[in-house]
Amino acid sequence: MAGRLLFYGMIAGLLAGLAAAGFFSLAAEPSVERAIAFESALADSAGEAPEAEIVSRRMQKSVGLIIGASAYGAAAGGFFGLAFAFAYGRIAQDDPRAVSALLAAAGFIAIALVPALKYPANPPAIGAPDSLGERTALFFAMVLISVVSLIVAASLGGALGAKFGAWCGRVAQAGVFVAAVTIAALALPGFNEIPTGFPADLLWTFRLASLGGQAVLWSVLGLSFGALVHNDRCRDETMSRRSGLA
């Protein structure tokens, strides 16, 4: 059963990644092009030779974007299927579609939204190569802290519910998560590597499109995974009825 859920997760994730790639190509690619134009103009005025093109822009914004987003989606879906395998039957929600939607909302918040609030997405032209290692390590650290905080807050459900009642227990759980990620976000260093003159509206549009694509990805993942598991369960029930087992 867990193996099948992992497989469904990766399939739903692949679909979600394709949907996100579609959204990105409509809503974000114009910003990417503008940012690359700014980057080239900056390099020109500094007298730097243009970088050799290893993969053409046409390839990057089509095949490359689809490969990148669908691989990311499949990976997110893999974790998602495993999280579902653990959560299903262990939380107070019985409809697999509702469990799936709930998990997807939690995944969007913990994996995409919270890390992006601390380390927002940056278009080309932003970011010093010297700090890449540090920024990568801190970004993954923020994702990890956010996911661990979510798991800790979720596991406190029983204890907090018993102490404060069902509703206030839930609010307290959310409070634990928000407090933990806020402390982490305040404690970790920030970066400001935006070159002088970079258009503010371009930065805003790019970051908004980045979050929009993540919202598309997690919505499609949660809804399609739920539908897959729901159909599976309906088929199983029909088959056991036919064979006279139920």
Partner 1 sequence: MSDAVYNPAARPTPIPIGQIAPWLAFGGLLSVLLMYFVGAEQGATALIPGHYIHELVHDGRHLLDFPCH
2-21: which residues touch partner 1 (CB under 8 A)? 2-3, 5-6, 9-10, 21
Query: Which of residues 81 and 226 has its CB atom nearest to partner 1 in the complex?
Result: 81
Q: How far is the CB of 91 from partner 1 (least distance, A)?
A: 5
Total length of the chain: 246
Query: Which of residues 87 and 223 has its CB atom nearest to partner 1 in the complex?
Result: 87
Query: Which of residues 169 and 226 has its CB atom nearest to partner 1 in the complex?
Result: 169
Q: CA-CA distance, 148 to 204, in Å (whole number)?
A: 29
Q: How big is the site for partner 1, counted in residues (CB under 8 A)? A: 76
- Contacting partner 1 within 129-158 (CB under 8 A): 129, 132-133, 135-137, 139-140, 154, 157-158
Burial 52-77 (b: 16+ CB within 10 A, else e): eeeeeeeebbeeebbeebbebbbebb
Does 119 sit near partner 1 (CB under 8 A)? yes
Which one of residues 16, 112, 114, 172 is an interface residue with partner 1 (CB under 8 A)? 112
Does 170 sit near partner 1 (CB under 8 A)? yes
Find the helix packing angle between 65-87 and 96-107, rounded to 10°: 120
Which one of residues 107, 123, 222, 226 is an interface residue with partner 1 (CB under 8 A)? 123
Q: CA-CA distance, 19 to 66, in Å (whole number)?
A: 9
Query: Which of residues 79 and 223 has its CB atom nearest to partner 1 in the complex?
Result: 79
Question: Given the structure tokens 């010093």, which residue do they identify?
Answer: 128
Find the helix packing angle between 2-27 and 29-45, rounded to 10°: 60
Q: Are 185 and 117 in contact (CB under 8 A)?
A: yes
Which one of residues 34, 146, 184, 213 is an interface residue with partner 1 (CB under 8 A)? 213
- Contacting partner 1 within 52-111 (CB under 8 A): 54-55, 59-61, 63-65, 67-69, 71-72, 74-76, 78-79, 81-82, 85-86, 88-94
Q: What distance lies between CA 242 and its chain's CA centroid?
A: 41
Residue 3 burial (CB count, 10 A): 9
Rg (CA), the chain: 21
Does 186 sit near partner 1 (CB under 8 A)? no
Does 164 sit near partner 1 (CB under 8 A)? no
